[in-house]
Every structure is written in structure tokens, then in C-alpha cells.
Amino acid sequence: MRRNLRVLAHGRRIIFLMLPLGAFTGWMMGLAVAAYIALFARFQEHLTSNHLIVFLPLIGLPLATSILTLGGVGEVSLGEDIELSHKDPYKAFPFLKSCVKVLACFATIFLGGSAGLEGPGKWFGAAVGLQCHRLVRYLSHRLKFFRRLLMDAHTMVACGAAGALASVFRAPLSAALFAAEHDGTLRTPNLIPTLVASASGYLVFAAMMGHAPLLALTHPYTLNWHEIWMALPLGLACGLASSFFSATQATFRRRLAPLPLPLRGFVGGAGLVLLMIPGHLLLPEVPVLRGGGVELVNHLLAVPPSLRIALIFLGVKLIATALTLGSGGIGGTWLPAVAMGACLGSAFDAYFLPSYPGLLTMLGATAFAGAFNETMLVPVVFLAETTAQAALVVPALVATTVAYLVAREWD
């Protein structure tokens, strides 16, 4: 009897909480992704020929830091908020301040900054999940039905974030794992709810935007021992590059800290303009700096670069992302880490496997993301979901494990 009641309670939570919550946050982030794609294409079409596109960061970063200042939020970090949420979710994700952070993220990402949409997705989804918890807790004191729906606040935060991330990644399993994982550990009580919410969010997104994968591979790959051995030095390089990126970001943050936040944003925007000018003049069709870097990764897969160009792309993306986040801009770091790793992998492709391009590009993307975000499982699942290439999983595990261990020891 008690077992049946528990099953019924779980079913009610799935139907009345997890599915609607995931669908709503997935729908909202689907709208944001659609707006980003449309705006990105419009800027690329109308602002490239007249060179105005290089001045976007000079608007975006000052606007983002001004929003944070006027909204009473100040300097923020998604990583710090996530750490705080495991102690006190209500302190980490107050709804109005979270909305201010989301607006600042959009200003950063839409207007030339180097950051990923998973940042606003996680902030927005977590804040909505927390408001759902607040509402259910309030109603549970008045109606018996809602007492059986009440869940832990941490679980509601993870569910909201998973639904939103499923739209950004276009990969429901990766989104659920990313939302449920903390410090390399998957919280079992969170896993089933986040899987349900993530699946719901992805279904809504797919209905809006279709099932096209996030990363478009040009041909299938087969598993060979040679690629597994190549994953070892690539993982080492990604681990070291990830540590360098962390140190660069910390340096920018420390050097710019004495400046008021809006002035910090102006300095960061000016720096991004200087970074954009050479690339814009030489390769105006390649968006190396702007956004999370999905467009850059797809370009690397479609048009494999030379060793020199791949390393230039890596340097520009690394410094641009570190400067964006170090000067007060906010957003996600997962997609930029994927792009930086793909650039480093492209350099390995150009030197070691010029006749088989794309393989080490994707392994580098996985290894760098795992090293910087301190996780081994999520990037490999992300690779499998976004590319539908099972042959990449084994070398990706090798590269990601090596990169993770190197970055952890080096840091």
C-alpha cells in the first residue's frame, strides 16, 4: 500500500511539476536561442560589409555591466552562484536579481561578447524552478493536494535549469547530467527529475526549432587505435590550455577590479574591438570572437584550417572569453570551452591527421570542456548526443580523462 502511494506521488510530481517546468523553461530558452540565431545572422549580413560589427562589444559589455550596476547586482559569477545554491538556493537565485543577470547575459552575448547561452539558461531555469518551489510550498499549507507535490528546493532548481539547458545544448541527457552534477558527483535524488524536465524542455524546443544537431559533422568516423593514442597528447594540451585560460581570466579580473564596474565593461569592450579588427579584415565570414562559439566549431568542421590559423583562432577565442568574463561581462563558459578545445583539436588535425580532419577537433572540444568545467562524464555524453558518432566516445574518454587530471593537478 505504501509503495503504491509513493509511486502515485512520484507520478503526480512528474505530471504536475517536472513536465510543465521543463517545458516552460525549454520554451523560453528556445525563444532566446531563436532570437540569438536570427540576430547573429542579421548582424553578420548587415554589419559586416560596413565594418560596424567590430564595434558591437563596445556597446554590449558596457551595457551589461551597467545593467548589473543599476539592477543592484554588481559583479557576479555563475560558478559562485551555483556553489552558493547548494547551501542556500533562495540566496543564490532570487527571482528579480536573476532576471537582471539574464538581461546582462543577453547584452553580453548578443552584442559581441564571448560567452555561452547556457549561462542565462541556467540562471533563468534555476530562478523559475525556485519560484515553482515557493508557490507549491505556499499552496501546500492551504490545499492537501499540493502537499504531495512538494519537492526539495535543490531538485526544483536543477529541474528548471535542465529544461533550459536542453534547448541550448539540443541534448537532453547532457543537459540533465550538467544540471544534476556538482563537483564531479551526480546527486541521485536530482537525476530522475532532471531527466524528465530536460526531456520535456527538449521536446518543446524540437517542436519549435527542429531536430538539427548542435554540431554538424561532415562525415562519419571509425574507431582506430591510432586515434586513441593521439588522444593522449591532445588531452595533455587541453588540460594545460584550460589552466592557462583560468589563469588569464583571473588576471583580467584582478587587474580590472579597482575600476568601477561600468568602466570595467568599457575597457573590456574596447579590448574586444581591438581583438576583432584583424580577424574581421582577414576572415570576415568567420565569427571567431562573438557568442559561445558554436558557429566557429561548425566552421572548423566544414572548412578545416591550417595549423597557424587554428592556433590563431585558439588564442583569439581564449583571450576574448577571458577578457569578456574578467571585465564584468557574464554568460556561460561551457560553449566557449568547447570552441577553444575545437580550435586546439583542429591544430592537431592539421599537423597529425590532415587526411582525416574533424576527429581531433571534436576530441579537443570534449577534453577542454571537461578540464575547465571539472567533469569527465558530461562532455563525453555531450559529444555523443550532439554528433551521433559513437566511434568518438572511446578516444573522447581518453582525452577528457587526461585533460581533467592535468588541469586539476596544474591548478
Tell me which residue has cell 543564490: 92
Q: Write down the mean pLDDT value for the chain.
A: 89
List, as one string, the DSSP characters of 237-273: HHHHHHHHHHHHHHHHHHHHTTS-HHHHHHHHHHHHH
212: cell is: 538539427
- Classify the C-alpha dihedral 358-322-266-39 as positive or negative: positive
Residue 215: what are its φ and ψ, rounded to 5°? -115, 130
**In the beta sheet, which residues pair with residue 159?**
none
What is the average per-residue pLDDT within 181-193?
A: 74
Q: What's the Cα-to-Cα distance from 258 to each of 180, 263, 268, 396, rounded to whole Å?
A: 36, 10, 14, 41
| pLDDT beyond 80 at 223 | no
> Band of the pLDDT at 2, cuts 50, 70, 90?
low
| pLDDT beyond 90 at 182 | no
| pLDDT beyond 90 at 180 | no
User: What is residue 184's predicted lDDT score, i.e. its pLDDT?
Assistant: 66
| Number of Cβ within a 10 Å radius of residue 283 | 15
User: How far is the C-alpha of 55 from the C-alpha of 111, rounded, in Å?
Assistant: 9
Short-list 121, 61, 62, CA closest to 93:
121
User: How far is the C-alpha of 198 from the C-alpha of 173, rounded, in Å?
Assistant: 7
pTM of the model: 0.93
Radius of gyration of the chain (CA): 21
| pLDDT beyond 60 at 68 | yes
- Residue 289, class by beta-carbon neighbours within 10 Å (0-12 exposed, 13-18 middle, 19+ buried)? buried
Least confident of 48-57, 129-138, 356-365, 401-410: 48-57
Residue 139: what are its φ and ψ, rounded to 5°? -70, -25
91: cell is: 540566496
Residue 141 contacts residue 46 (beta carbons within 8 Å):
no
Residue 264: what are its φ and ψ, rounded to 5°? -55, -45
| pLDDT beyond 60 at 302 | yes
> Band of the pLDDT at 1, cuts 50, 70, 90?
low
What tens digit of pLDDT does each residue of 245-271 get?
999 999 999 999 999 999 999 999 999
DSSP structural state of residue 150: -
> Band of the pLDDT at 15, cuts 50, 70, 90?
confident
Q: List, in order of start, the domains of the chain with CATH numbers.
A: 2-209 (no CATH), 225-410 (1.10.3080.10)
Tell me which residue has cell 582577414: 282
User: How far is the C-alpha of 82 from the C-alpha of 226, rounded, in Å?
Assistant: 39
User: What is residue 62's predicted lDDT score, i.e. its pLDDT?
Assistant: 96
Residue 185 contacts residue 269 (beta carbons within 8 Å):
no
Short-list 57, 55, 66, 107, CA closest to 269:
57
| pLDDT beyond 90 at 87 | no
What tens digit of pLDDT does each residue of 110-124 get?
999 999 999 999 999
